[in-house]
Amino acid sequence: MKFDPAMLARLQFAFTIIFHIIFPSFTIGLSAYIATLGVMWRWSGREHFHVLMRFWSKIFAVSFAMGVVSGVVMSYEFGTNWSRFSAEVGNVVGPLIGYEVLMAFFLEATFLGVLLFGFNKVPPWLYVLSAVFVAVGTAMSAFWILSANSWMQTPAGYALRDGVAYPTDWLAVIFNPSFPYRLAHMLNAAYLTTAFVVLAVGARYLGAGKFHEEARTMLRMAIGLTVILAPLQLIIGDQHGLNTLEYQPLKVAAMEAHWEAGGPAAFEIFAWPDQAAQTNRFALSIPHVSSLILTHSWDGAVPGLKAVAPAEQPPVVPVFFAFRIMLGIGLFMIAAALYGAFLWWRGVLFETRWYLALMANCWWIGFIAVISGWVVTETGRQPWIVQGLLRTADATSPVPAGSVATTLVLFVLCYGVVFWMGIYYINRLINRGPEPSVTEAEGLANRPLMAGKDALAAGR
Amino acid sequence: MEWYLPVIWAGLIGTAVALYVILDGFDLGIGILFPFAANERERDQMMRTIAPFWDGNETWLVLGGGGLLVAFPGAYAVIMPALYLPVIVMLLSLVFRGVAFEFRTVSYSKTRWSFAFTTGSTLAAFAQGVILGGLVQGIPVSNGAYAGGAFDWATPFALLCGLAMVAGYALLGATFLNMKTEGAVARRAHAQAKPLLFLVLAFMAAVSLWTPLAEPHIAARWFSLPNFYFLWPVPVVTAIVAFLLWRWIGNGREVPPFLAAIALFLLGYLGLVISNFPYLVPPSLSVWDTAAAPASQIFMLLGTLVLLPIILGYIVFVYWLFRGKVREGEGYH
């Protein structure tokens, strides 16, 4: 690997955005969960829903703050590291990102303040309504940013003049061909990721013999949700894959490590793709299955990487393995959800200790699946930054490699500290657990990071 | 439409940047003044004055940067690579400062987080001054892209602007503390305000003399006729405001010095706008050269016109809610 500025810029962007995506993928799901808890609290009048709502709101606040600070950096990186990208497709992508920023800003400035600090200051219905708006707001933020990303995968609704893209049809830009699939896949992933965190926390409490009522509610809600969403994600993922096959066949070929086009194609359970030799070193495969997955027919023809010169192919190894990690976690989630539902049906869910212990340790799997999925879709698009329109190597800033390398090291150091502090404080909050009554007066403020004080107080 | 849309957007982004400089200015200033406090108890009190506001203040920076990408991608794509290192140092300083801010309040070791808070605030202020100086001194551009090296920004002028920004934010912070606190913290801030004012005036004079001497187009803007007839009030009003600020501090007034410090900042900002308009990337790229397509600017303007008033209204509401003085040992925490 040669450390040219483009490679360093990609590494830096990959590092900062992987760090960033962890928090939105959690807060999108968690805000929906908090809103659900709020609605159930008003609906049933049962206080423990309210206790759980307050508990998860504090964790939400810390995560949201981490998402905000890492998101600020992203909004500048398009210029610092990808200035030619900004100059050439800014007309089209800029407003999509702009709307995302405005939505997040609007959300933070209004409803989040009420949700986090307004508990004693507003009537309960407004408090719950704020939670609903926060959930809608985070999903809207995802809507815009995924629209921007999908446009980079399947650009539409633009005209090219002198190498610069101009919007011709905003609806076609926003609802570009891969957008509905990517949005559904990502939102569902966020909800699944959060459900597995909730499941893990509930399982942890039951295992430790703490907070029985709240823990049971968490387990029931999480399993009830995952038993639907985990299989649904397989269907959405399949549809998303078919869309990718149509618009970005080389990405699919890299996911499957298929060098030769044609059919019937085998599914490689494990292989070691050798891009230099344009073949797989070792392969453990099931015949026909890849044709079945991709074409829904026994002998269907699939694309091969050799359709283009090696320099035009995406890097196969990371795409191939990231796809298998994502798929493996997805299948594990389906099994875990179905088995949990089975235990629940048999009435032994809360007593099956090995299952609770396993789930308590699986809080992280959704995050790994989300990151792997992004590695597949972003690396699989290479060597393009905007598919068929702008190459990654042509999109970088005129900044020397030394500057990019220096700031990359700074990012790793700073984010390393911030990340571990954040995880540490969230863990403290979880260990303290849901607390029944709130007596202290809390101020209304537009400062989500403030909830960090609860995290710190929890450790005292 | 081709003519006035970029002007509207320049106005919007200019307003966002001005709001950012004033609002985040006073809370960064408090970080800069942190080492001069007698103990951590005083620092607690100082922090409480900005506790409900700081991250709302910082979001204007996101609107400034995001807005530049949306409305002037041509300028964004030149400025960010040209000022690469100061921009990233500023961002990381703000991240660190924001985290330090919160973790300090109940940490086992307040001193460590106080140090992080001061360092982050001061570095962020300095980097912002350097960015400003780097812009004003001009950025070499060829074919619409940055055409310089990694350290072109590192001139004596830009470093002077960095120091000026630190001093200016410290003045805003001191007058804010003078207004919002009582007791030892207020007395110290009051004592710091006058020396800081003279420091800021010295920096303003240096920048005001340096820019026309170094940049002929700025000299022509100010000193050619008939421009001079319209522009002479700017330095005169600045001098009057500075005098009033000095008097009000001497008289022990509380609110007026802070307002005068804001006015001083706005006048300095106005001076820079006069020197450089309509150039977003002096000396070559204007707001029209770098504007996004009209369709893009209109599309984004629609959403901004709906959401911006709501955001502004909310900010006014929060400042109103947390009005009044912060005394020692009490507050929002």
Query: pLDDT, tens digit, for every residue of A238-267?
Result: 999 999 999 999 999 999 888 888 878 888
- The band of B1, judged by pLDDT with boundaries at 50, 70 and 90, is low
B58/A90 Cβ within 8 A: no
B236 touches chain A (CB under 8 A): no
What is the predicted pLDDT for the residue at A93? 92
What is the predicted pLDDT for the residue at B329? 65
Q: In Å, how far is B245's CA from the nearest CA of chain A?
A: 31
| B309: closest chain A residue by CA | A106
Q: In Å, how far is B133's CA from the nearest CA of chain A?
A: 18
Q: In Å, how far is B277's CA from the nearest CA of chain A?
A: 22
Reduce the DSSP state of residue A288 to 3 states and report it.
coil
Q: Which chain B residues are closer than 8 Å to A448 by Cβ?
A: 55
Nearest CB to B92 within list A75, A170, A414: A414
Segments forming the whole domain that contains residue B193: 4-321
Mean pLDDT of B206-227: 86
Which is it for strands A279-286 and A267-274: parallel, antiparallel or unpaired?
antiparallel
| pLDDT over 70, % of chain B | 96
Count: domains in chain B: 1
Q: Which chain A residues are closer than 8 Å to B103 by Cβ?
A: 421, 452, 456
Cα→Cα distances A401→A84, A279, A409, B80, B96, Å: 16, 33, 12, 15, 25
What is the predicted pLDDT for the residue at B228? 83
A167/B73 Cβ within 8 A: no
Give bridge partners of residue A164 from the DSSP assignment.
Answer: A161
What is the predicted pLDDT for the residue at A233? 95
Q: Which chain A residues are closer than 8 Å to B321 by Cβ?
A: 443-444
**Domain assignment of residue B305, yes or no:** yes
| A458: closest chain B residue by CA | B106
Residues of chain A with pLDDT under 50: 1, 439-460
Measured at the CA of B136, the angle between CA B128 and CA B142, to 5 degrees, comes to 110
Mean pLDDT of B119-144: 90
Mutate to test the interface with B, among A66, A112, A386, A446 (most CBs of B within 10 A): A446
Cβ-Cβ contacts under 8 Å for A115 (sequence gap 6 or more): A34, A57, A127, A130, A131, A134
Q: Which residue has the higher pLDDT, B171 or A414?
A: B171
Q: Which two tokens stand for residue B271?
A: 């001076």
What is the predicted pLDDT for the residue at A3? 66
Q: Which amino acid is at A415?
A: Y
**Domain assignment of residue B330, yes or no:** no
Q: Which chain A residues are closer than 8 Å to B94 by Cβ?
A: 69, 72
Q: Which chain B residues are closer than 8 Å to A168 by Cβ?
A: 295
B70/A414 Cβ within 8 A: no
Give the whole-angstrom CA distance, residue A443 versus residue A427. 24
Q: Which chain B residues are closer than 8 Å to A444 by Cβ?
A: 318, 321
What is the predicted pLDDT for the residue at A274? 87
| B91: closest chain A residue by CA | A73
B106/A456 Cβ within 8 A: yes
Instruction: Parse chain A into domains and list their residue ranges.
Output: 1-176+400-460
Mean pLDDT of B183-194: 91
Lowest-confidence pick of A345-359, B69-83, B294-308, B318-332: B318-332
What is the predicted pLDDT for the residue at B164? 94
B98/A167 Cβ within 8 A: no
Helices and strands counted in chain B (H then E): 14, 4
C-beta separation of B67 from A98 below 8 A: yes
Cβ neighbours around A113 below 10 Å, total: 23
A418/B73 Cβ within 8 A: no
**Domain assignment of residue B292, yes or no:** yes
Alpha helix positions (H), B34-155: 40-50, 54-71, 73-82, 84-104, 110-136
B66/A97 Cβ within 8 A: yes
CATH number for the domain that contains residue B47: 1.20.1630
B54 touches chain A (CB under 8 A): yes
Mean pLDDT of B232-240: 88
* pTM of the predicted structure, to 2 decimals: 0.87
Which residues, numbered 308 to 327 in chain B, qualify as contacts with chain A under a Cβ-Cβ cut-off of 8 Å?
A: 310-311, 314-315, 318, 321-322
